[in-house]
Amino acid sequence: MNKLLSILQAEGLFVSCNKYIPDDLQISYITADSRQVKENTLFVCKGYEFKKEYLVSAVEKGACVYMSEKEYEVDIPCIIVNNVRKASSVAARWFYDYPGDKMILTGITGTKGKTTTAYILKSILDKYKAHDTAIFSTMETDTVKERKISHLTTPEPIDLQRLFSEAKEYGVEYTVMEVSSQAVKMSRVYDQHYKIGIFLNIGEDHIGDREHASMEEYVSCKTSFLTQCGTVIINRGTDYFERAYNASKNAKQIIYGYTDDCDAVISELNSDTNGVSFKLSYNGDTHIYSSNLIGEFNAENLTAAILAAYELGIDYDTIESGIKNINVPGRMTLVKYNDINIIIDYAHNYLSFVKLYETVKKSFKPVHIHSVFGVPGERSAVRIRDLGMAAQEYADYIYLTADDPGFEKVSDLCGRMKAYISKPCVIIEDREEAVRAALDNAKPGDVVILAGKGAETTQRVRGGYLPYPSDKKVAEDWIAGQSR
């Protein structure tokens, strides 16, 4: 335990101990969840709604020491720290013996495209290393040992280090993960070094009581992550490019984009319903790349992953093979029926909605666009406004419905979005009903966009998760019903 105290002190986090802690005290587990406590657990007191009862329960179950920003009246020693979020990351790294430092980590941040870029890079690495790449994404957490649905884009710090440890135990050499702005704000990746960091883009999003207080804070969190990376790959076309560039000046920087002043230059871009192809000039070489991913914007996601692969020493042939056929759960998934194109996509903010609508218009040239979407509860008024305005601009028929309403009423969330829409628009609170209604109304030549949920099979409702069959399953069941 003295080693941990010394580390916390070196990080400027340690304040005091209320009791003597024997150096030979054996810590067998670390958690911030009182339900998971075992004998000899180091229990971390943190969370928006932490209550003393959680600590009392932890002590009853066998916690032998706790870490907190304040002292509680319980009969075990306490480590007082000045920032329990940062301290929990430091303690977890110590407890699991720094597993992330023993792998090659790539962290991806951006308002849109994180998940797609992560799966592109994983696909390349899987070709390179025969399917032993771990991935932590919005959609799933896969340590190779175990694969689970994700409920956080970036895991909490203790969970993250445990997952790193699990992956390392199974011989994983490469891990690819999304790093959200919330993860940086909440110190989930504090003190963790990444060999490669990717900065895709940034747009106004995630501003609200439970997210970021301002756009300035949002940008600051996004760009500060880059200080933890050895090599940083930045999209030249992103808003706040100079902020990202300046934040990463101590790293090796690779800038990509469409202009000759970039290190990696994209040109001759072509996109249709079969996928995307483009030329990429980098380090004196020019190659043509093609992928099944639909949408011109995916050239940027592909380029970011390709540059990361080159930086990891992977050759062109392996990269080209790795990007040919990529399955990104819930991203631009296409289902067809009777000349109706049904697109399932995770788009959930203004940037991703606009790119999705623009891609549909350009690639599919639809007669009409039917758009089914909602907005999660406890999100900012900006997102509600932006999703409504994007649908108003691009869609012909709009169906507002449930999308992780949390503690808010679906009718209230949809009603606030509807205020920005004057085109034909209905509120159908049950998402399955909304999907079926859109499909019932679609005609040959139309495109039906099912946005927001992607491949997710749950709805977040009042602090829990209720099963949902997924938009794709609802669409497939509807198609099966048409042929009966």
CATH of the domain at 178: 3.40.1190.10
pLDDT tens digit string along 43-79? 999 987 899 999 999 999 999 999 999 999 999 999 9
Please indicate, yes or no, whether residues 188 and 274 belong to a single structural domain of this protein: yes
Mean residue pLDDT of the chain comes to: 93
The enclosing H or E element of 181 equals: helix 181-185
Asked if residues 434 and 462 have their Cβ atoms less than 8 Å apart, the reply is no
Instruction: Looking at the structure, tell me whether residues 164 and 292 fall in a common domain.
Output: yes
Statement: residue 2 has pLDDT above 90: no
Q: Order the strands of the 252-257 sheet from edge to edge.
A: 147-149, 140-142, 133-136, 174-178, 104-109, 194-199, 229-235, 252-257, 264-272, 275-282, 285-291
Please check whether residues 181 and 280 belong to one and the same domain.
yes
Query: Do 132 and 255 share a structural domain?
Result: yes
Taking each helix axis as running N to C, give the angle between helix 316-324 and helix 114-129, from 0 to 180 degrees, rounded to the nearest 10.
120
- Same domain? 445 vs 402: yes
474 and 366 in one domain?
A: yes
Same domain, 419 and 302: no
Residues 153 and 31 in one domain: no
Say whether pLDDT at 421 is over 90: yes
Above 60 in pLDDT, residue 206?
no
The distance from CA 180 to its chain's CA centroid, rounded to whole angstroms, is: 6
Contact yes or no for 372/435 (Cβ under 8 A): yes
Confidence check: pLDDT of 90 > 60: yes
Sorted by sequence, the CB contacts under 8 Å of residue 76 that are 6+ apart come out as 19, 59, 63, 64, 65, 66
Q: How big is the chain by its Cα radius of gyration, in Å? A: 24
Q: Which residue has the tokens 């319903």?
A: 273
Give the C-alpha separation, 374 to 427, whole Å: 10
The answer, yes or no, to whether residue 131 has pLDDT greater than 80, is no
Q: What percentage of the chain reaches a pLDDT higher than 70?
A: 97
**160 lies in the same domain as 284:** yes
Return the amino acid letter for 41: T
Split into its structural domains, the chain has a count of: 3
Last residue of a domain, one of 290, 305, 324: 324
- The rounded distance, in Å, linking the Cα atoms of 128 and 438 is 42
Q: Which domain holds residue 369?
A: 333-482
Among residues 64, 95, 126, the one where a domain terminates is: 95
Residues 432 and 410 in one domain: yes
153/231 same-domain check:
yes
The domain boundary, picked from 34, 63, 95, lies at 95
Query: Domain with 347 in it: what CATH number?
Result: 3.90.190.20
Do 77 and 116 reside in the same domain of the chain?
A: no
Express each pLDDT in 373-392 by its tens digit. 999 998 888 889 999 999 99
